[in-house]
Structures are given as structure tokens and as C-alpha cells.
Amino acid sequence: MADADQGGAEPILVVDDVTKRYGKFTALEHVSFGVKKGTHLLILGPNGAGKTTMIKCILNLASFSGHIRVDGSDSKKNSTEVKKMIGYVPQNYAFYENLSVQDQAKMSSRLKGVDATTQVQEKLERVDLWRVKGRKIRALSDGMRQRLGIALALIGDPPILILDEPTSNIDLRGQLEFQDLLLKLLQEGKTMITSTHLTGLGELASEVLVLDKGKQIAHGEPSALLKRVNVADTLYLRVDNSHAHDISALIQDLVGSEVIVKGNWLTASLMSADKMKVLKSLIDSGVRVDDLLIEPTSIESEYLKLIDSGEST
């Protein structure tokens, strides 16, 4: 098992040497990783990287070579048992359009073999859809469909949630609400796996898996991966105009970064390790700093560098 054994808790999901081929096309090639209980794995990669195929393999919707185990159960041998432990939110929120929200939830309860009378109302209320329970699914907005997808995935209280491109079709407000819900679910101890080619979810990720053309490019904690590609944070300083050039020279001498001066704002790119060095020098120099902002770099905006670097875990 290549990357699946990690320190700490035993992974609840173990993907071991999974390869998926469609004829001559290889969609996934020797992918191995593990997901610990209660953590959030973000699967990053451009379109066609193999993210959705990976999810299909976990759910045993597609045949593959290799092994996937969920809480010790083999996904090929005990497919039904494994699927009981996973709530899945599909990419296009493809549900039966002519059903009402409540009827779709009842149907999902029956498919999962759980009591519809208690679960349906509870889960729909949780995502604020109980008030529109009689509305047909075809009349729901994309944001509502996403929330319905999450409610349906939560039916049966599975310990793992898999979300395929959850923020690709929704507006900014919907994305923020989604992040809030995601955070609550993580606090409740759910294990989450989210695939995306967009940004906005990196802050909530415990681990990141980067895929490209079916290959596993990187896997690990976001901070560790960012270190590997030497990405820089951005420092913004507001200073008195008369000191701008002195401070610019100080930063340049200290870390060699180019400093852009626009009015009384200075902007510089800094390696994470250099941030404290710069701050200490600013304090020691005694110059007055009116404002200071450090914008950290997110893994989602930098994962392409990992792909370009061609490094593997």
C-alpha cells in the first residue's frame, strides 16, 4: 500500500493501487491514498484529471483494478455495505425532476432502507428546504438543488460524505452558505471528500490529493504541499509616503523580493519562512507602519504548480 498508511488514526477509507481504464484510455493510474476519520480530503485537478472517476470507483459504480476499503469493508465484495457508509452528492444534482422535494427525499430513504418519517423532515429542515417540500425539483434553483443533494446524502447518517464539484454551479452566496454547512458537518465528525477544479474550499481541507491525467501528482496536508512548490504569500503594507522607498529597499535587501510601490501601499511576495524575518526588521528599524495585511496562498490556486512540477508523493 503506497500512500495509504499514514501516522495517527487508522484511515476510514483506503484506496490502494487503483487503476481504471476505458478501452485504451487510462482514466486513473495506480492511485493510492487514505482518508482518516473526521478529516476533509480535497481532490484537486483540472477537468479530465480523473476526479469523478475516482469517486465512481469509491462508490463501485465503475469497475477498476486495485482495492478500495471503507471502514475495513472491500468495496467490490461488500458494495451495498460500503454504500451504506457513504452519502454522495452528485455533480449535476441529477434527481427525478417531476418529483417533489419531499417525495425525492422519501424515495432516497427507501433506497437506503431507513425510516422516512423521521429522517426526511429532519434532513430537509437542516438545509432549509422543508418550507419548499412540496415544490417540484425542476422548479428549484441550483443552490437549492445543491442543498437537496446534501440533505439526501445525509439521510441514513453515513459517516462519509462525497461531494463531486459541489460549488461549480452556484453563486457566491450559495458557495458561502455551502462552506458554512461543510464546516458544521466537519465539526460533527463527518469524513468529507470533495472534488473540485475551482477555488474556495482549500481552507476547510485537512488533506489534498492532486490528480492530473489520471495520475496522482501529490497527496498531503495543504501547508506541506505549498512548501514543496515554494509558493509565496503576499504582504501589503501601508506606510507614510516619505518612508516608502526606505522600507522597499529594506525588504528587497532582506529577502530579495521585488516590492511594488503604489501611493502609500507597498506590495511584496514573501516565502512563508521569510514573513517573520521581515516583520522583525520592520519593528527593529523603528519605521511607522499604518496598516499590514498578509494574504496567505491557498492550495487550490497553486495546485497547478504541483502538476507542472511533475513531482509525485
Partner 1 sequence: MNVSAVWAILTYTFKDAIRAKWLLVFAVVFFLLAVNIPMLVLLAARYLPPNYLQVYLTTLVGLAFPFIPLLPLPMGAATIVDERESGTLQYIMSNPISKVDFLLGRMGGMLAATTAVILLGFGVASLMVYNIDVGRYAPVLTATSLAALLNAIMLGLAMVISILTKRKSTATGIAIFMWFLFTVLSDLGFLSIVLNLKAGAAATLPVILLNPVETSRIFAVLSLGGAADQLGSTGLIISYYLGDNAFSILGGTLLAWLAVFFILAFLLFRRQDVV
Q: Which residues bind partner 1 (CB under 8 A)?
A: 56, 59, 61-63, 79-81, 83-84, 86, 88, 90-92, 94-96, 98-99, 107-108, 110-113
Please, which residue, 156 or 222, has the CB nearer to partner 1?
Answer: 156
Please, which residue, 133 or 243, has the CB nearer to partner 1?
Answer: 133
Q: How far is the CB of 62 from partner 1 (least distance, A)?
A: 4
Q: How far is the CB of 52 from partner 1 (least distance, A)?
A: 9
In degrees, to the nearest 5, what angle opens at C-alpha 29 toward C-alphas 28 and 33? Answer: 90
Please, which residue, 108 or 167, has the CB nearer to partner 1?
Answer: 108
Q: How far is the CB of 82 from partner 1 (least distance, A)?
A: 8
Q: Which residues of 3-38 are buried (b: 16+ CB within 10 A; e: fewer)?
A: bbeeeeeebbbbbbbbebeeeeeebbbbbbbbbbbb
Cα 17 to Cα 21: distance, rounded to the nearest angstrom: 13
Classify 262 in phi/psi space as left (phi over 0), alpha (psi -120 to 50) or beta.
beta
Q: How far is the CB of 96 from partner 1 (least distance, A)?
A: 6
Please, which residue, 133 or 305, has the CB nearer to partner 1?
Answer: 133
In degrees, to the nearest 5, what angle opens at C-alpha 181 toward C-alphas 174 and 95? Answer: 65
Cα 296 to Cα 274: distance, rounded to the nearest angstrom: 13
Q: How far is the CB of 248 from partner 1 (least distance, A)?
A: 54
Please, which residue, 9 or 94, has the CB nearer to partner 1?
Answer: 94
- Spatial contact of 275 and 257, defined as CB atoms under 8 Å apart: no
